[in-house]
Structure 1
Amino acid sequence: MGLRFGVLGEIEALRGQQRLEIGPARQRAVLAVLLAEANRVVPLDRLAERVWGRDQPQRTANTVRSYLSRLRSALPGTTIERRGEGYVLETEPESVDLHRFRALVARARSGDRDEGAAELLAEALGLWRGEPFSGMDTAWAADTRTALLAERLGAELDHNDIQLRLGGHGGLLPNLLSCAAEHPLHERLVGQLMLALYRDGRPADALEQYQHLRSRLSEELGTEPGPALRELHHQVLADDPALPGAPPRVANAPVPRQLPAAPRLFVGRGRELTALTRRMEIQREAGEAAVALAVDGPGGIGKTWLALTWAHANLDRFPDGQLYVNLRGFAPQAEPVPPSQALRAFLEALGVADTAIPADLDARSALFRSLVAGRRMLIVLDNARDSAHLVPLLPADPACTVLITSRDRLTGLAAGHGVQPLDLELLGERHARDLLTEHLGAHRVRAEPGAVRELLSCCGGLPLALGIVSARAIAHPDFPLSVLAEELRDASARLDALDVDDTELNLRTVLSWSSRALDPHAAKVFATLGLAPGPDIALPAAAALTGLSRSATRVVLRTLETANLVWQPAPGRYRMHDLVRLHASEQAEGSLSDDERRAALRRLLDHLLWTGHRAALLMKPNRTPLELAEPVRGADPVELADRDEAAAWFTAERLVVLAAIDVDWPEYTWRLAWMIADFLEQTCQWHEYVGSQRKALAAAQELGDLDGEARASRNLARGLGRVGTREESMEHLERALELSRERGDRFNEGMAHLDIGMVHNNAGDLRGALTCVREALAVFEAAGHRHGQAMALNNIGWCLAELGELRDALAYCHRALALQEETGEPGACARTMDSIGYCHHRLGEHAEAVTWLNRALDSLPDNDLGSRIEALTHLGDARHALGEHDAARTAWLTAADLAGTTGGPAADALRERLGGHVLTPSP
């Protein structure tokens, strides 16, 4: 009899009715993590983080191996094995209560018979024995527990809807009452309770539940119940004969739900909403490809609002999820989101591991089409630049629906895909007045008909302009509307504020009212934010830019967020709408002096440079630091504690730093490029690497800064070695070598020799490479630079190994490792372990090679993709030589997948090199 496992309560394993002893709490936690990811590889570091959190034992790997050994003994017949750098537990998904629960819920939601769905949901809910992952106390367990409880509530609500449709309201009432007490603001749940009470002959109690919810929403959130609940309330009041009809069933499956909230105030557009639905039905009847709907019109006309309103009104048509991306096709100060970046976000939302996402655009697009095939999904592509921007993002399956918005007419999409965009027009006078009334209230609008007419005339039916005017009026409830009308009249004559034919939508004056409504301090902060490079800004960086403390900056940003001038796409990161950002920039030009703008930008650049410099040295401790002047007052760099925090900072700020490199300030340009170089190299962002180093070299040469020129020349050459030509790479390295010698910089002189050796090695000139790295060793030894000596020794060992002098190669590599263990850089140690493993494999000592290569992989930082690819490739070679064909294929395929994420010729070369082995089934 097979084993059954439980995590929806206490963590347990059962054979029949017998509960097996599975050890102490941490051992049970290891089992629970593997069960949660059953049949998927869990990397060791992720397993440890989920089991121990931050309080991991010193020898985590050994402890995990010990627990797994005991679990194998306690769970006979269960396969738990190591694959690559992680572990996997193989079992039938139905044997784990968590996966059985999800499968039952999915089957219930995909069926079309209420009776069968009710049975499946009841069975799924019956699997719960208490709090999931009981006994685990890590952050992962808490987050997973919260998510699972939300899934359970969703299943319970689905079951309630079905029972209500089947007339089972009486039996539901006790549970509904207790559940509503636990979730008093959950509108769907309160609606179910109201319906059950109404059907039970208790309409007064149903109305009381509604009033109770409405009061709490008003007091705690300042909102009203949603339209579905308001409609149910009216039906109960009117004793509507349509009752007892249950509220629409809403799926709560764990699938992508990326739609932003529907606009709270939305009027008119009934014809357009109907047209979208009709076009969807016509295309779906044709059934040849994915349904594609498009809305076009000038900026600010309400394309996104229309799309989101339609999407939320039709959620029941897309039970398999909704994906959303703002493609920023017409952002005034930023490049559009590339299709490859949008596809990466979609693939991550669909559950594809980061390392499994292809680098090639066509491969990403093909994988995306495969994953959404057969799924009833909505994909919203907002603010597209043109048809070419969209084509890679279009699925091919007729089950999918794509909703597009753009300022472009998308003629290419119409010609190539038969999509006829819906041209969105300005609001008519009646609907524009209705929108203003929704914002300001009927009494205020009726009180000043002349001023309202003038406001409507000046806004010209543009929803964005109406919204900004309304925000200004709401900010000053005691001001007569005639004052706003007079301000708009004067400004529009001067700046042509409502020229809707302008593709950038000139709303400077209307936007200025929003900023004028701020107090002088907030208005200055708003203008200063317009100076920031990059697509968004983190709170510490915003504090540096403004010169305020972080707490004071947070307060002002909250004010700007309330005024709809900024928003938070993620906690602690702030973004402006395209037009608001442009307006803020112009405000900075007009309201801040040259000295103020320069001081603000310098604080921000110092903040980025000092934080990034610290991060760069945490990630690579033996890197020669820059000689930096003290940061200016107010720069307040972030205090990063360790390598993980450094990598996270670079990941979050990469685009900001790259934009800062473009700021016209050469002293910062080359230093910022230097500081991010290793991160871009390790994550194989080669095109960004080369682009930033070209700018660095130009800046250093403009300044006559020989240190900067030497560093940038060498870095640029390294990048060109990946994406450029050997000749250009060698030209820059020779210049770097010349500058290092002139300046007496022995370390960078040695590094230049090493890099020249790498160029020779890549060209197949092993003897030339060996000569260069021996010269590097001599330079490092003369300078007493032990880390440099270690790198040179490892490179000598590698060259000798390639030349077949394997025993000598091993001797050099072991000398290198001894030095690296002294200098304490895990990545350098790991790369030398890889070299040692490679030598043992070449000598026929394959088991010893596997040991060293596994040590290398355990030591390598996660984001050192290039080194991981090489070590995994070597591990596959050694495993294959031992006859361990499945393990070899796993290592090779993992290397190939990682190589696919890096792009460039290396990925193709690796797949070609591995193809004969990877595609051959194991015997």
Structure 2
Amino acid sequence: MGTSGIAARECGLLVVQVLGPVRLWRDGTEISLGPVGRRAVLGLLVLADGRPLLGSHIIDVLWGEQAPPTATNVIQTHVKHLRRLLEPGRRAHTPSTVLPFTGGGYALRLPAGAVDLARFRDLLTTAAEADRRGDPQSVAAQLANALGLWQGAPFADVPTLAGHPKVRSLLDDRRAAIVRYTDALLTLGAGERALPLLREEAAAHPLDEAVHTRLVLAHHCVGRRDEALAAYDAVRRHLADELGVGPGPDLVAAYLRVLDDETPAPPVDPLVDTAAAVSPVNQLPAETAGFTGRAAELSALEELVEDRGTAVRIAVVCGTAGVGKTTLAVRWAHRTRGRFTDGQLYLDLRGYDPQRPVSARAALGHLLESLGVPATSIPTDLDRRAARYRAETAGRRLLILLDNAASVDQIRPLIPGTGTVIVTSRDSLAGLVALHGARRLLLDVLSTPEALTLLRSLVGARVDHEPEAAATLAHQCAHLPLALRVAAELATFRAGEPLTALVGELADRQRRLRLLDPGGDVRAAVRVVFSWSYRQLPAAAARLFRNLGLHPGPSFDVGAAAALAAMARTDTAMQLDVLARKHLVRTESPGRYMMHDLLRAYAAELAADDDPGGAIDRLHAHLLATAAAAMDRLHPADRAHRPAVARAPSFPDATAAQAWLDAELPGLVATAAAGLEHDRPHFTTDLAATLYRHLEGGAYMHAEALHGYALEAAQRSGDASRYGVALTNVGAVHRLLGRYELAETHLSQAAAILDRCGDQLGAARALSNLGIVYERLGRDDAEAHQRAALAAYRRVGDRYGEASTLVNLGNANTRPGHFDEAYDQLLRAAALFRETGAVVGAAAALTNLGDVCTSLRRHDEAAGHLSAAREIFRSAGHVYGEAVALTNLGRVHGTRGDHARAIGDLTVAIRILHSIGHRYGEASALNILGDVLTAAGRTTEAVARYAVALSIATATGDHDEQENAHEGIARARRKAVHARTSRTP
């Protein structure tokens, strides 16, 4: 293993061992420490790591509340004897240098290397440095020496210290070292060296998944596949028996690696190619047209992110506002996109937004969703989100572009375990460089030749005809690309004037502003250029520009712009084209626009002289009315549950309504947050209450944010009814995300508040959601809550709510002994939905009804209901519903032995579910497909499908589908073995 504890005793005059029994050597000879109390005092002093330890603390550890009256004298006696043992030549009454009384307590001051615990920690640090260098050989050597210092349990002969927090932490450090040691050995292909230690640790810690994961991998590394599978199965059953949980992602990944090597890849079959590679995500913004210069900076950025043997490479592009940081980073990212085969992520952190920059927690949520993690699997707290993010990015060739960062604290949790990260910021982010090995590129303004090249590309030959004026113009724009583009557009617009005239006009304005603001900040020069360009705008375009500064979202459409400026849509579209040509807004996509944050701040400053309150109210009214119109198109039968708002023109079809909501949702959430800042809480609560049904369909990250703002707004308003509705919506989101305890708290409170307010519809919805939560928790009163909600809906005559609750009751009763009751409830729900015109609701009821019929073995009827549901969903463009109907149809066909039809339906369902990110549904469908393939004798393909299902179900925490996958794999392997042995002569 390495340097043994015995060998370590030879390294100095005094040696103390605590990684095992507490022992002391002087000059290689062991010295008896005496009674256990004395060894305990020495152990506590070692744990204090040189810091003073109060006598009262020693007494508390040794005796607790049962300390004898003589405890202080006992401690002093132990210290006196320890001083004699540690400093035998010290004269009486001479102050001790090894165990002095200092700082009101005792401190142990031994030479460096004298205590095995200190050497252990030093070796861990050295190993970590080697790990950062990417040197597994050195990592293994250092950790072997560190682990070799252990001679048993720490403080093994001092029972009093066994439960001390620092001792427990020390044991955790040892287990972590074992994991890192075995990882290094596995990297080196030396798994056999790790096996003895791993077997010992696995036996001692049967629930430690990190250790068992390495045990599985070590067996696999040396070709012991059966032992690897047996080790996995043993820990899986132990976890289920002791904790009631399934294996975590790392342990499952190790199992799947073993399984992949055991099972040859199935032949490619277009019907079942569900594991086909998905195109990696590419979120990079479009490149800025007319990019020129910056060759040296692009080359420098290339050097910053070159492979230095580290797991993650970080480059910080910093510089003043408007200098072109984002443009440069996006340019480089597009040029190198082919390197990052697993995708390119982009996130604007809005670090300099005056209202609400993106928090690290929210940023992690967006990044995890971009990586394909369903919202239901994204942890709530920051640390666990960061851990999940590192796990999702581990080993992947990703480029992550984090734009407009404000601080190191905003960035630090977003650093992945592997990959390349580009950060742009006006701040130097020194902490990122010092602590995380980032490299920094300070982006300066353009040189004069580069500035002239950019002007030439935008203005043309006039630059060469008037070189002195062009150079002066570049200087007046502070050589900033953003200002140069704005100025160039103005020069192009005034094509008949010489550049000297424009330069002279700008010089006059700069002189006037300098008298008012002599700070000399380059951003002041940009402001002058903006003001110069703004003054040339037609009145309508100028008014629109001012009001656009009040929009809090990341982008806006023509309708929102028209509402802000109180203009007709056609006129607004024309003026937006004017602003876009002058580089005062930027086109994000057809009909959608963005503003640089400098321009937005400047526009908002100008808007202060208008009526900003009126513009904000117009924007709020427009967004509420349009959101209500979209919801009326998508969910017409649910109108009674939404606030009454002014009606906007209706959408032509459901596709258009869905497209508007998808594009506008980030801006709607930002506007709701701004509603709190502008003291308009009713807008925020009304918007959340309008959109809740849409948000339940899967936009859970946005739902969590919007309903959180609404809850805060309702509290501020003091309106109990609004507060109850907001509580219901927050509780519903927690339910959808599987946070059942939080959901129960919010929904119980909501039901009580709404009942007191006399809001029977609101109370019924809260009760119905609460019933679903109780069903998930296995509570006996789940059905009672659904029946109470059903009675409330019937009292007020809300047939849509009645139908929805009947579906919930039917689902709750889909279990042995209750199928007939479930059948009646779902049949009635489908009829009620049809009567109210809610065809999608009817299809949902029919889908569940088909599932019940399958359990009742009424396969023909099940197929009829499911086929009808599929057609409704397809006509309505409801892809998730179609996928569920197809999944259940596949199960029906498989049960009837029609394997070809079952495989076809399930394959289409899986592709749909994968495309929309519904991972629970995907895992379920994959498991059903595995069952059908097994029944058809295609066991190799079945195992591959079960493996994908297991991976997904582990990531989402779905224990049922995990168990289904495990059982399916075992069943398919048994059938394969039987098939092979039956063919053996």
Sort the TM-score into its range (normalised by shorter chain). Answer: 0.5 to 0.7
The structure-2 alpha-carbon separation of the partners of 1:342 and 1:749, relative to structure 1 and needing over 3 Å to count, comes to closer
1:680 corresponds in structure 2 to: 695
Matched, 1:898 2:918: yes
* Normalised TM-score (structure 2): 0.56
Structure 1 CA distance for aligned equivalents of residues 517 and 626 of structure 2: 41
> What is the deviation of 1:673?
0.6
* Normalised TM-score (structure 1): 0.59
1:790 corresponds in structure 2 to: 803
SS in 1 for 2:637: coil
SS in 2 for 1:574: strand
2:764 corresponds in structure 1 to: 750
Letter in 1 for 2:707: Q
Structure 2 CA distance for aligned equivalents of residues 845 and 617 of structure 1: 37
Q: Is the 8 A contact 2:774 2:782 kept in 1?
A: yes
Letter in 1 for 2:363: P
SS in 1 for 2:550: coil
Letter in 2 for 1:266: T
The structure-2 alpha-carbon separation of the partners of 1:866 and 1:917, relative to structure 1 and needing over 3 Å to count, comes to farther
2:35 corresponds in structure 1 to: none
Q: Is the 8 A contact 1:534 1:660 kept in 2?
A: yes
1:614 corresponds in structure 2 to: 629
Of residues 825, 831, 839, the one that matches 2:844 is: 831
1:642 corresponds in structure 2 to: 653
Of residues 636, 658, 663, the one that matches 2:669 is: 658
> What is the deviation of 1:771?
2.0
SS in 2 for 1:782: helix
SS in 2 for 1:585: helix
1:130 corresponds in structure 2 to: none
Q: Which runs of structure 2 are paired with 1:395-474 in the superposition (5 Å)? A: 405-409=424-428, 420-428=439-447, 432=451, 459-474=477-492
1:916 corresponds in structure 2 to: 966
SS in 2 for 1:299: coil
Q: Is the 8 A contact 2:323 2:481 kept in 1?
A: yes
1:669 corresponds in structure 2 to: 684
Of residues 607, 610, 628, the one that matches 1:592 is: 610
> What is the deviation of 1:844?
5.0
> What is the deviation of 1:883?
7.2
The structure-2 alpha-carbon separation of the partners of 1:629 and 1:919, relative to structure 1 and needing over 3 Å to count, comes to same
2:261 corresponds in structure 1 to: none
The C-alpha deviation readout for 1:831-859, integer Å capped at 9, x for no partner, is 32243234334445567556545554554
Structure 1 CA distance for aligned equivalents of residues 818 and 644 of structure 2: 48
> What is the deviation of 1:294?
5.4
Letter in 2 for 1:788: G
Letter in 2 for 1:791: S
Of residues 510, 513, 521, the one that matches 1:488 is: 510
Of residues 298, 304, 307, the one that matches 2:320 is: 298
Q: Which runs of structure 2 are paired with 1:477-876 in the superposition (5 Å)? A: 477=497, 479-495=501-517, 499-500=521-522, 507-589=526-608, 591-593=609-611, 597-625=612-640, 631=646, 637-662=648-673, 663=675, 664-685=679-700, 687-700=701-714, 702-703=716-717, 705=719, 707-723=721-737, 729-730=743-744, 732-738=746-752, 740-741=754-755, 744-766=758-780, 768-802=781-815, 804-845=817-858, 849=862, 852-853=865-866, 855-856=868-869, 858-860=871-873
> What is the deviation of 1:546?
1.6
Of 531-540 and 878-887, more deviation after overlay is shown by: 878-887
SS in 1 for 2:636: coil
Letter in 2 for 1:272: E
Structure 2 CA distance for aligned equivalents of residues 762 and 315 of structure 1: 48
> What is the deviation of 1:409?
3.9
> What is the deviation of 1:682?
1.1
2:351 corresponds in structure 1 to: 330
Q: Is the 8 A contact 2:401 2:422 kept in 1?
A: yes
The C-alpha deviation readout for 1:143-164, integer Å capped at 9, x for no partner, is xxxxxxxxxxxxxxxxxxxxxx
Structure 1 CA distance for aligned equivalents of residues 432 and 329 of structure 2: 18
Letter in 2 for 1:831: A
> What is the deviation of 1:359?
6.4
SS in 1 for 2:813: helix
Q: Is the 8 A contact 1:279 1:293 kept in 2?
A: yes
> What is the deviation of 1:552?
0.6
Q: Is the 8 A contact 2:584 2:595 kept in 1?
A: yes
Q: Which runs of structure 2 are paired with 1:29-40 in the superposition (5 Å)? A: none
Structure 2 CA distance for aligned equivalents of residues 342 and 458 of structure 1: 40
Q: Is the 8 A contact 1:384 1:404 kept in 2?
A: yes
Q: Give the gaps of 5 or more residues in structure 2.
A: 1-268, 380-384, 923-951, 976-985
Q: Is the 8 A contact 2:364 2:414 kept in 1?
A: yes
> What is the deviation of 1:425?
2.7
Q: Which runs of structure 2 are paired with 1:44-443 in the superposition (5 Å)? A: 260-261=286-287, 264=290, 266-267=292-293, 269-276=294-301, 283=306, 295-307=317-329, 325=346, 327-333=348-354, 335-336=357-358, 338=363, 341=366, 383=404, 389=411, 405-409=424-428, 420-428=439-447, 432=451
Q: Is the 8 A contact 1:899 1:907 kept in 2?
A: yes
The C-alpha deviation readout for 1:763-787, integer Å capped at 9, x for no partner, is 2123x12222223333333333333
Of 549-558 and 317-326, more deviation after overlay is shown by: 317-326
The C-alpha deviation readout for 1:198-234, integer Å capped at 9, x for no partner, is xxxxxxxxxxxxxxxxxxxxxxxxxxxxxxxxxxxxx
Of 578-587 and 491-500, more deviation after overlay is shown by: 491-500
SS in 2 for 1:266: coil
Letter in 2 for 1:763: L
Structure 1 CA distance for aligned equivalents of residues 423 and 461 of structure 2: 34
Q: Is the 8 A contact 1:491 1:497 kept in 2?
A: no
Structure 1 CA distance for aligned equivalents of residues 806 and 457 of structure 2: 74
> What is the deviation of 1:524?
0.9
Computing the radius of gyration from Cα coordinates, the structure with the larger value is 2
Q: Is the 8 A contact 2:352 2:406 kept in 1?
A: no
SS in 1 for 2:682: helix
> What is the deviation of 1:672?
0.7
Structure 2 CA distance for aligned equivalents of residues 576 and 583 of structure 1: 11
Q: Is the 8 A contact 1:806 1:839 kept in 2?
A: yes
- Between Structure 1 and Structure 2, how many residues are aligned? 647
Structure 2 CA distance for aligned equivalents of residues 255 and 841 of structure 1: 38
Q: Give the gaps of 5 or more residues in structure 1.
A: 1-87, 93-98, 100-252
> What is the deviation of 1:654?
0.9
Q: Is the 8 A contact 1:757 1:770 kept in 2?
A: yes
Q: Is the 8 A contact 2:552 2:671 kept in 1?
A: yes
Structure 1 CA distance for aligned equivalents of residues 761 and 283 of structure 2: 52
> What is the deviation of 1:272?
3.4
Q: Is the 8 A contact 1:265 1:439 kept in 2?
A: no
> What is the deviation of 1:573?
0.5
Taking every aligned residue pair, what percent have the same amino acid on both sides?
29
Structure 2 CA distance for aligned equivalents of residues 91 and 835 of structure 1: 25
Letter in 1 for 2:651: L
Structure 2 CA distance for aligned equivalents of residues 330 and 601 of structure 1: 23
> What is the deviation of 1:658?
1.3
SS in 2 for 1:421: strand
Structure 2 CA distance for aligned equivalents of residues 647 and 561 of structure 1: 27
Q: Is the 8 A contact 2:715 2:723 kept in 1?
A: yes
The structure-2 alpha-carbon separation of the partners of 1:491 and 1:786, relative to structure 1 and needing over 3 Å to count, comes to same
Structure 2 CA distance for aligned equivalents of residues 289 and 725 of structure 1: 34
Q: Is the 8 A contact 2:340 2:397 kept in 1?
A: no
1:27 corresponds in structure 2 to: none
Structure 2 CA distance for aligned equivalents of residues 801 and 326 of structure 1: 43
The C-alpha deviation readout for 1:810-849, integer Å capped at 9, x for no partner, is 2222222222222232332233224323433444556755
Letter in 2 for 1:544: A
Structure 1 CA distance for aligned equivalents of residues 427 and 970 of structure 2: 48
Structure 2 CA distance for aligned equivalents of residues 727 and 365 of structure 1: 27
Q: CA RMSD in A?
A: 5.0
Structure 1 CA distance for aligned equivalents of residues 272 and 716 of structure 2: 63
